[in-house]
Chains A and B, each alone.
Chain A
């Protein structure tokens, strides 16, 4: 994927660029709002990681508003030290697709950026999801693995749906909390892990090959081994 990073802090930018390149992405970096706007408007990117407070007279919000005014729909993730709820709301209102507050864990950033690009592509309505021999019919809300029906609670179904929609990608606990439960706070206990392990009991345990993997220090990934 081709990703543009607009970030003025040299250390943070270097760290993010290195990490994204290690994850096999092509990264361009702009150190101020003016350059960032120029690059975002003149080149094609799959995603933009955008700092809110930028030097050069064009801050992150204005950059994005200008882009959106030109009907540029590239997915944008705000990466900002402004972490109040109002700031977040402002960022999303200006056309941002996601908002991550500094300081951040790189795994979280990577997972969210990759989820963004996926979201951009999945425009056509999908009626069926499949990972390996696991199938989900979104219309009848039924789940089968190797032809065998699996009974799920409504919340387990939504959790599995979220994981399958992001198959092949790392999904963090925060993303699950936001995407499945619509909660925007940081639980101190391992509530998400418990729910994932319950889902695993139903989806993976009775079958020889696991599909739902734990990624250390990051979260979970849904993947058939032959895909990876």
Chain B
């Protein structure tokens, strides 16, 4: 499909230019280049992040290669140049001193000495008189290009029987003499051209390597992302079981894949939860609704007198009240889990709250031959929602009252443990079997022993939601016998600080 698009755009580009645009000769290089970029623009290639990264890679690679070449050039050719200049300057100083000591004859002698001893075979000297006629040295004539003094010249001179590239400098001596000092730099020039060629080749190799690297990066990118995008596509089509493949190299892409997979796992769990809840709603609300409906229909068909009818309507009303309370429980939990109630957080003394609960439920316990012992020391400062904490403790106490046998005290305790406050509600009832402990906080879940008792199966779900809203944990332990429910909540200071930072809903139930 991409190939087809390429061809199409190429054809479009080859159409004769419209009126008003500047007509161009076809196949001129500029036109071809334009066509290439237009084709690129039309293709998804330029929109690919992989290509952008690859291009960036190539550019950085190229720039560093150029920087390296410049440095290399400066370090070799430049160094040679500077060495030559230093040697010429040293010569000039030496000869200048000779001239001051012994005048022109001494100078001539020195030059001839140096040339005959062949100190430096590349050395060029030429002493000339006022009219630039050579007096001594190894150049036959004064090169006419060398005019001004104190500047560098680089030119070809006749040196004996051959041409040579030389770097020269002219010095004017007092008394109308002119001295030309230089070096044959032919070999240096050769080196330079070698270097230039080498660098050009290097640039070529660099372009090839850079492009190859860019292409490699792009394909790596595309391959690594293709899997992620395929998975995301599958998920968006509704297949939640798909996961991103992990290469096992432990690189960044693997970590990304792991994060995405974790996220997908969590989404799948949430979806499962939603499905479970809606199934549970269907079951736990349908049953009482069916019962109420049956009662009303039965009364309408079979009631013998007004008394019967009245009783049936009353029972149906109380069935409906039960349904409403389940409904409200569900909404309350949803509201708490959405975290909407964190606005009601305030500093409170948990001891006063527990003492009040003890007072409220203590009387009901005594009425049933039970007893609630309060075991706590004031103060227990914490930061939370008073109403919700009351409800959570109330739910735990109601459970304890429901399941604890008469004569065995129920413990309502609280205390500080480091920077946390733990609330304990312990009873001596039948307890929760270990395999049920993880599940009792699910909405509508009721253990075997609870099936026969009244209740909606929402009590512990609400406790769990409240505890998580407070950045705490709920532990259900064995009380040998009975249940020991432990709410571990942050104490005042750490709670208010942590609340600002973390998302409390992400906390999982500890094992």
A86 and B340 in contact, given A103-B324, A185-B394, A188-B455 (Cβ under 8 angstroms): yes
Q: Is the CB of B340 within 8 A of A155?
A: no
A184 at the interface (CB under 8 A from B): yes
Q: How far is the CA of A86 from the CA of B344 in the complex (A)?
A: 9
Q: Which residues of B contact A191 (CB under 8 A)?
A: 360-361, 363-364
Q: Is the CB of A185 within 8 A of B387?
A: yes
Q: Is the CB of A189 within 8 A of B364?
A: yes
For residue A12, give the distance in angstroms from its CB to the closest CB of chain B. 15
B401 at the interface (CB under 8 A from A): yes
Q: Which residues of B contact A226 (CB under 8 A)?
A: none
Q: Mark B326-361, 1 if CB is under 8 A from A, else 0.
A: 001001000100001101100000000000100111
A190 and B364 in contact, given A83-B331, A85-B341, A155-B359 (Cβ under 8 angstroms): yes
Query: Which of A84, A85, A155, A197 is the most central at the interface, judged by chain B CB atoms within 10 Å of its CB?
Result: A85
Of residues 380 through 400 on chain B, the ones whose CB sits less than 8 Å from some CB of chain A are 387, 390-391, 394, 398
For residue A205, give the distance in angstroms from its CB to the closest CB of chain B. 16
Q: How far is the CA of A220 from the CA of B369 in the complex (A)?
A: 25
Chain A interface residue bracket vs B:
20 to 34
Of residues 180 through 202 on chain A, the ones whose CB sits less than 8 Å from some CB of chain B are 181, 183-191, 194-195, 197-198
For residue A73, give the distance in angstroms from its CB to the closest CB of chain B. 27
For residue A175, give the distance in angstroms from its CB to the closest CB of chain B. 15
A138 at the interface (CB under 8 A from B): no
Chain B: CB-nearest residue to A85:
B341
Q: How far is the CA of A145 from the CA of B87 in the complex (A)?
A: 128
Across the interface, A194 reaches (CB within 8 A) one of B325, B343, B363, B455, namely: B363
Q: Mark A153-193, 1 if CB is under 8 A from B, else 0.
A: 00100000000000000000000000001011111111100
Of residues 86 through 123 on chain A, the ones whose CB sits less than 8 Å from some CB of chain B are 86, 101, 103, 105
Q: How far is the CA of A84 from the CA of B337 in the complex (A)?
A: 13
Q: Is the CB of A195 within 8 A of B363?
A: yes
For residue B321, give the distance in angstroms from its CB to the closest CB of chain A. 7
A184 and B324 in contact, given A155-B359, A195-B363 (Cβ under 8 angstroms): no
Q: How far is the CA of A103 from the CA of B387 in the complex (A)?
A: 22
Q: Is the CB of B321 within 8 A of A105?
A: yes
Of residues 447 through 477 on chain B, the ones whose CB sits less than 8 Å from some CB of chain A are 454-455, 459
For residue A203, give the distance in angstroms from its CB to the closest CB of chain B. 15
Q: Is the CB of B325 within 8 A of A198?
A: no
Q: How far is the CA of A187 from the CA of B343 in the complex (A)?
A: 24
Chain A: CB-nearest residue to B363:
A194
How many residues of B are counted as interface, with CB atoms below 8 angstroms from the partner's CB atoms? Answer: 29
Q: Is the CB of B340 within 8 A of A187?
A: no
Q: How far is the CA of A69 from the CA of B394 in the complex (A)?
A: 40
Chain A: CB-nearest residue to B356:
A181
B251 at the interface (CB under 8 A from A): no
Q: Is the CB of A184 within 8 A of B387?
A: yes
Chain B: CB-nearest residue to A181:
B360
A187 and B331 in contact, given A86-B340, A105-B321 (Cβ under 8 angstroms): no
Chain A: CB-nearest residue to B388:
A185
Q: Is the CB of A188 within 8 A of B391?
A: no
Q: Which residues of B contact A103 (CB under 8 A)?
A: 320, 324
B150 at the interface (CB under 8 A from A): no
Chain B: CB-nearest residue to A86:
B340
Of residues 35 through 89 on chain A, the ones whose CB sits less than 8 Å from some CB of chain B are 83-86
For residue A185, give the distance in angstroms from its CB to the closest CB of chain B. 4
Chain B: CB-nearest residue to A180:
B360
B367 at the interface (CB under 8 A from A): yes
Chain A: CB-nearest residue to B385:
A85
Chain B: CB-nearest residue to A103:
B324
Q: Mark B389-423, 1 if CB is under 8 A from A, else 0.
A: 01100100010011000000000000000000000
Q: Which residues of B contact A183 (CB under 8 A)?
A: 360, 387, 390, 394
For residue A152, give the distance in angstroms from its CB to the closest CB of chain B. 13
A188 and B398 in contact, given A85-B341, A183-B390 (Cβ under 8 angstroms): yes
Chain A: CB-nearest residue to B334:
A84
For residue B337, give the distance in angstroms from its CB to the closest CB of chain A. 13
Q: Is the CB of A84 within 8 A of B363?
A: no
Q: How far is the CA of A122 from the CA of B378 in the complex (A)?
A: 37
Chain A: CB-nearest residue to B325:
A186
For residue A174, give the distance in angstroms from its CB to the closest CB of chain B. 12
A185 and B390 in contact, given A85-B344, A86-B340, A105-B321 (Cβ under 8 angstroms): yes
Q: Is the CB of B387 within 8 A of A186?
A: no
Chain B: CB-nearest residue to A197:
B367
Q: Mark B78-110, 1 if CB is under 8 A from A, else 0.
A: 000000000000000000000000000000000
Q: How far is the CA of A186 from the CA of B402 in the complex (A)?
A: 16
Q: How far is the CA of A194 from the CA of B364 in the complex (A)?
A: 6
A84 and B390 in contact, given A190-B364, A194-B363 (Cβ under 8 angstroms): no
Q: Which residues of A contact B394 (CB under 8 A)?
A: 183, 185, 187
Q: Which residues of A contact B454 (CB under 8 A)?
A: 188
Across the interface, B328 reaches (CB within 8 A) one of A83, A197, A198, namely: A83
Q: Which residues of B contact A184 (CB under 8 A)?
A: 387
Q: Which residues of A contact B343 (CB under 8 A)?
A: 86
A186 and B455 in contact, given A84-B335, A191-B364, A194-B364 (Cβ under 8 angstroms): no
6 smallest A-B Cβ distances: which pairs?
A: A185-B391, A194-B363, A194-B364, A191-B364, A194-B367, A184-B387
CB-defined A-B contacts under 8 Å, sample of 13: A86-B343, A105-B321, A181-B360, A183-B394, A184-B387, A185-B390, A185-B391, A185-B394, A186-B325, A189-B398, A189-B401, A190-B364, A191-B364
A: which residues have CB within 8 A of B? 83-86, 101, 103, 105, 155, 181, 183-191, 194-195, 197-198, 217
Known contacts A84-B335, A186-B325; 18 additional CB pairs below 8 A are A83-B328, A85-B387, A86-B343, A101-B328, A103-B324, A181-B356, A183-B360, A183-B394, A185-B394, A186-B328, A187-B360, A187-B394, A188-B398, A188-B455, A189-B402, A190-B364, A191-B361, A198-B363
